Structure 1
Amino acid sequence: MHTHIADAIKAPDLVRLGANLYVARFETMKVYSTLVAVERLLASGRIRPGATLMDSSSGIYAYALALACHKYGLHCHIVGSKTVDRTLMLQLRILGATIEQVEPQATLKMDQSLRVARIRELLDSRPDVHWMQQYHDDIHYDGYEPVAALLAETLGDTALSVVGGVGSGCSTGGLARALRAHDAAVELIGVQPFGSMTFGCQHIEDPGIIIAGIGSSIPFRNVRHRLYDQIHWVSFDYGLSGSVALLREHAVFAGLSTGCCYLVAAREAARRPERNIVFLAADTGHRYVEGVFAHYEQALDPRGLEPKSIESLDELALPWSAMAWARADFVTDPDALAASPRDAALVAAH
């Protein structure tokens, strides 16, 4: 028996889709890590009962933070963009969160930069507010340890590959860190949208849209590049096709980033039957009904989709590119962006 709904929805459902293909399906993925982060902040005295917690988000992190604040009797303030959908906005307000939206911007970079600038203004005027920094504070890694334990217990000793959207770096990074504490050979495959700078693809714009939540146009300190064995860049059209195929073939209704991960994971499972492949479904598909699922007739057959294998970032190309990252670090100097990470100078581990 749970005493708060956040505890009931935080854990994923692990579903077997094929002989060696699994999905860890979350209702909303960041609840687990946010609950753990807030609990530890309270226990350490970094925040006090009744404090106001703030962050920039336009998606599932805003919902997760609002739930955590509701559970622990804290105040929640979200700086979001105009892309926050009505369903989420209503839930946040009824949960007691306050939300302010920055004006629409021409690019994602401008939008994210404006939101961060607004947060800094608020911190200057309200020093009592705690900025959660989901993109930079590695306390968000800790909440994925129980998920890693679930995967390890359920899937056993078979060689394991985890596929997930990179985003802030915490979900995939936290899982890999916890799993590798017991098996260093666990493989991590990160998924990125075109237009994201996290792994050097900001120079290629997706003619569809940038897939929010798994990429970034500003640096995230929580992304530890040396945790990743492979990186795949997937376009909006291919992500849509993956989301529709996942629903059609397996009755799993999940978001756009999950469709990207499904394409990558299904291919890996077919190519490497000796390994278990598990991919992360970060949220349900309800936010994507009009933008994705309403266009299901345009979906491509995923069996005919293949990535372009590349050796360096200057070979990146739409609609799907894949690279052996080989647990290299990444230099964000613009002059190094076209180089292979294996050839780029390595810097100290995060």
Structure 2
Amino acid sequence: MAIRAPFDEITAAEEIPKLVRLTPNLYAASFTLMKLIPARHILRKAVGTGEIGPETLIAETTSGTFGLALAMQAARLGRRLVLVSDPAIDDRLYRRLTDLGAVVERVREKAAVGGYQGARLARLAEIQAEHPDNFCPRQYSNPENPRSYALVAELLAESLGQVDCVVGPVGSGGSMCGTVTSLRSLLPHCRAIGVDTPYSVLFGQPDGHRGLRGLGNSLMPQNLDHRVFDSVHWCSESLAYQATRRLHRQFSMFKGPTSGAAFHVAHWWARANPDSRTVVMLPDDGYRYQDTVYDDDWLRDDGHLDRAAPEVPVFLSDPRVPDGEWSAYEWGRRPYDEVVSSLDAPAGAR
């Protein structure tokens, strides 16, 4: 892939991941801000098609880095941006978003269905009704989100040649589904391992408290194609935090906890499969977590250092039942309904 420099926008420069070899068969695709890929692609395309005009309001629901990516690109385009978030958004991110010109609204109460995500979607609908000339990037349902990651697949294929396994966190479904689907046009046997967190509904678990943010979801996004995934791993917040610190200490990679969770799974997989070339997706840097994940007192006070990180996952017979700090299930590239129906079928019919 021809990458030209100097770039005409910082967003173009920072959407390109750095490829780092961690072990003989494990490579990291290390992003400064991975969500710039869909944010830049979606907004620029909408400007080109006329969906975003000079006075169009851009509005979206997000509590994390997709909002930051939108704010960066909206500032470059000179467009107004309203982001609907919730109490999970930290003060550092809030200050950066508002400094970029974004208006950030935080819902305070959970919806009866869908939790904070449901409440945020309801408020987003109100804002859209108030501003008829609006554009919503719809990261959870816009097919341009996964399509934008063809850029990453092209980079991996041209830089590494053979890629046997891609490991990465799953939230909207865009990054893993888009990257792996594009890669498989060249490498059909490439394995995909999704990393989720307990009490996320993405792969069948009941909606509940999720301390680990940046992956998982309370609602099922349309962009999540379950048929992409060979297996799924659920990592607790404590495991992710410990793995994040190990990634920093061992490899000097200063990343966030979703990266830590993905690294933990990928490191295990790469050791167990030494003849396979594995790539782990590390979505963002660790600056937002200096007062939490990178603070030993915070980790200790919240009990995240009480248990040693398990060395192997617990393999589940039913992905709908959370189990321990780290569990896994062989999904087998099947649709969601097929997996669930096979679990509910009588034993003799399975």
| TM-score, normalised via structure 1 length | 0.89
**What is the alpha-carbon distance in structure 1 between the residues aligned to residue 306 and residue 289 of structure 2?**
14
CA contact (8 A) 2:203 2:320 kept: no
Deviations 1:99-137 (A, max 9, x none): 111115499942111100001111222211111111111
Deviation at 1:326, TM superposition (A): 0.7
Q: CA RMSD, aligned part only?
A: 2.5
1:325 lines up with 2:326 in the alignment: no
Counterpart contact for 1:241–1:300, Cα < 8 Å: no
AA in 2 matched with 1:224:
D
Match of 1:172 among 176, 185, 210: 176
Structure 2 match to 1:40: 45
| Alignment equivalent of 2:96, drawn from 91, 105, 114 | 91
Structure 1 residue aligned with 2:196: 192
Amino acid at match of 1:312: D
Distance 1:315 1:111, change over 3 A: closer
Q: For the structure 1 residues 314 and 41, does the alpha-carbon distance in structure 2 shift closer, same or farther, using more than 3 Å as the test? A: closer
Q: 2:253: which partner in 1?
A: 252
Note closer, same or farther for the CA distance 1:84–1:252 as it changes in structure 2 (3 Å cut): same
Note if 1:122 corresponds to 2:127: yes
Listed as ranges, the gaps of 5+ residues in structure 1 are 346-350
Q: Show CA shifts across 1:230-271 (max 9, x none).
A: 100111111111111111111111111111111100011001
Instruction: Note if contact 2:111-2:119 (Cα within 8 Å) is conserved in structure 1.
Output: no
Q: 1:310 aligns with which of 316, 322, 333?
A: 316
Whether 1:29 aligns to 2:30 is no
**1:150 equivalenced with 2:155 (yes/no):** yes
Q: Does the C-alpha gap of structure 1 residues 116 and 263 become closer, same or farther in structure 2, counting only changes over 3 Å?
A: same
CA contact (8 A) 1:241 1:299 kept: no
- Give the CA deviation at 1:44: 2.2
Secondary structure (helix, strand or coil) at the match of 1:273 reads coil
* Alignment partner, residue 161 of structure 1: 165
Q: Report the CA distance between 1:142 and its aligned residue.
A: 2.2
Query: Contact between 1:20 and 1:269, CA under 8 Å: does it hold in 2?
Result: yes
Does 1:224 find its partner at 2:207?
A: no
2:38 is paired with a residue of what secondary structure? Answer: helix
Q: Please show how residues 194-209 of structure 1 align to structure 2 within 5 Å.
A: 194-202=198-206, 205=208, 209=210
- Residue 8 of structure 2 corresponds to which residue in structure 1? 3
* Structure 2 residue aligned with 1:294: 295
In structure 2, the residue matched to 1:235 is: 236
Contact 2:37–2:148 (CA under 8 A) maintained in structure 1: yes
> Secondary structure at the residue paired with 2:196?
strand
SS in 1 for 2:23: coil
Residue 12 in structure 1 maps to residue 13 in structure 2: no
Residue 291 of structure 1 aligns with an amino acid whose one-letter code is T
1:138: Cα distance to partner?
1.0
The 1:338–1:212 alpha-carbon spacing in structure 2 relative to 1, beyond 3 Å, is farther
Q: 2:40 & 2:120 partners in 1: Cα distance?
A: 23
Q: Distance in 2 between matches of 1:27 and 1:337?
A: 40
Count, aligned residues = 337
Cα pair 2:111 2:118 within 8 Å, conserved: no
Cα deviation code 1:174-202 (max 9, x no counterpart):
10111111121111110000010010112
Rounded to whole Å, the distance in 2 between the matches of 1:14 and 1:300 is 32
Instruction: Find the aligned partners of 1:228 and 1:123 in 2 and give their Cα distance.
Output: 34
Does the aligned pair in 2 maintain the 1:27–1:283 contact within 8 Å? yes
Distance 1:20 1:213 in 2: 26
Q: Secondary structure at the match of 1:198?
A: helix
Gaps of 5+ in 2: 1-5
> What letter matches 2:316 in structure 1?
I
Query: Which residue of structure 2 lines up, in the alignment, with residue 348 of structure 1?
Result: none
Asked if the contact 1:232/1:320 (under 8 Å) is kept, the reply is yes
> Using the alignment, how far apart are the partners of 1:332 and 1:43 within structure 2?
39
Give the match for residue 82 of structure 2: 77
Q: CA deviation at 1:280?
A: 1.0
